[in-house]
Amino acid sequence: MAPDQPVGRLQGKRCLLIGGTGGLGLAAARRFLHEGAQVVLVGHQAIESPPCPVLVGDATQSDQVERVVDEAETRLGGLDVLYHLAGASGRRHGDGSLHECSEVGWRWTLDTNLTSVFLSNRAVIRRWLQRGQPGVILNLASVLAFSPSPHHFDTCAYTAAKAAIISLSRLAASRYAAAGIRVNVLAPGLIDTPMAQRAVTDPHIAHYLTTKQPLRRGPGTPQDCAEAAVFLCSEAASFVTGIVLPVDGGWSVCEGQSG
């Protein structure tokens, strides 16, 4: 099959990507469309030349989350898949080492990365339960949630939020499996996205990644995560729920050498 020919693993799936206007989100949107999905993105602001409709909303505000879910369902004629990618580093707000993290940084980072997941997941699960409809949720965490690297990535609020996403998702997977609702988690390593430019352009981290992510000897690409997301949101994973899938080039199983 030619590389540019749609495969159809998500044929007919109606998908909402929250936080879908960033590097990971746009790569996922393009891949989902390529696989036959219908897609609506949600972001903080409109973007130029989006591959599919974009709704503007704040994923940390419950009323706005409810609104964009309703609008997405109207545009798509329903909803089968939620992929929640919304999140951000809280460094500029005061996140950092436990002894240095500010309360403002803590609250901002947890709201952006964890509360947003709670709100979006709650919104779609309520709708699916009301209709007796199965569905798929994929939440984005981070390999830092279970494989810390304090020398280069010492942000306690971000790490705590990403670990909590895993716990929230696994509980939801257990609670709603009987309703046909699957909930899984992607846990990327360092991926070359606009959010990660501080790390990606740091020569010390670049050296570290040669042994920490040896499959690539550097950062991964948004396409690496998009391919994994397609699998977990497709019927190929219909017997899979409650898993945490590292997409990390070996990060979580390799020691990494800083020297």
Paired tokens of 257: 């050498």
Closest listed residue to residue 14, CA positions, set 32, 38, 34, 35: 38
Paired tokens of 255: 């020691």
Rounded CA separation 66/244 (Å) = 26
Instruction: Specify whether 158 is catalytic.
Output: yes
Instruction: Provide the CB-side half-sphere exposure for 91 (13 A, CA).
Output: 10
Rounded CA separation 87/53 (Å) = 20
**Hey, how many other C-beta atoms are within 10 angstroms of the C-beta on 199?**
19
Rounded CA separation 234/138 (Å) = 11
Find the catalytic residue in 83, 158, 176, 208.
158
Catalytic residues: 158
